[in-house]
Amino acid sequence: MVIKVFLASSSGSTAIKKKQQDVLGFLEALKVDYAPLDIACNEDNRMWMRENVPVEKKPTNGIPLPPQIFNEESYCGDYETFFDAKEDNAVFAFLGLPPPPGSKKAPMKQEEAQEEVEDEEAKGEDDQPVSEGEEDLGSEEEEELRQLEAIVSLAFEMLKTPDIPILRKKKRPQSRKKRTSSNSQERFRM
């Protein structure tokens, strides 16, 4: 599947240019295959985009502005919906693509998250005793915390002690006595 991004190469609007760059840059970063289709130089691209943007997604004047994003023939959205999907870490779902292998689990909807919390509460996982492995992990963390506290307190004690060579004030060398103006005048007479 190829993602089609309809752009205007010769747009006079800096806002449109920035939106187009944002979409293309993000798709490149995700290594998504896409085809940039210019509506400024190709009348067929412009007409196809205008005809295939759903009526409910068109602005009040009826002419959708670039960038417009499609997955083959299926409309994905404009910049605002792309930006929302990017903020929600749901760009692959927005584009209608499967997430790449090794990616994190897709974000859950709020209803699904609430159901999962209710299921866990019903199981009563909090009432189960802690296993030995978990106890060891806790004691290891506590020991590491004690060691860090000891290091920090030792560092503070070292800073308070004036005997540390780094913290001693360096003695300034004695400055030479300033020459009087009469001495400097005598030097020039020679």
Least confident of 29-43, 46-60, 71-85, 114-128: 114-128
Which residues, in sequence order, are CB contacts of 168 under 8 Å at separation 6+? 162
> Tell me, what's the pLDDT at 38?
96
Question: Does the pLDDT at position 159 exceed 90?
Answer: no
Question: Does the pLDDT at position 145 exceed 60?
Answer: yes
What is the C-alpha separation between 146 and 144, in angstroms, rounded? 5
What is the C-alpha separation between 68 and 57, in angstroms, rounded? 11
For residues 35-54, give the mean pLDDT.
95
Which is higher by pLDDT, 36 or 186? Answer: 36
What is the C-alpha separation between 61 and 50, in angstroms, rounded? 12
Least confident of 71-80, 114-123, 175-184: 114-123
Question: Does the pLDDT at position 137 exceed 60?
Answer: no
> Tell me, what's the pLDDT at 74?
95
For residues 30-45, give the mean pLDDT.
95
Provide the residue type at 155 as one letter. A
> Tell me, what's the pLDDT at 140?
73
Q: How many CB atoms lie within 10 A of CB 42?
A: 13
Question: Which pLDDT tens digit goes with each residue over 80-105?
Answer: 999 999 999 999 999 999 988 876 65
pLDDT band at 15 (very low <50, low <70, confident <90, very high): very high
Q: At what angle do helices 79-87 and 14-29 cross, to 10 degrees?
A: 40
> Tell me, what's the pLDDT at 62?
85
Q: What percent of the chain has pLDDT over 70?
A: 62
What is the C-alpha separation between 47 and 3, in angstroms, rounded? 18
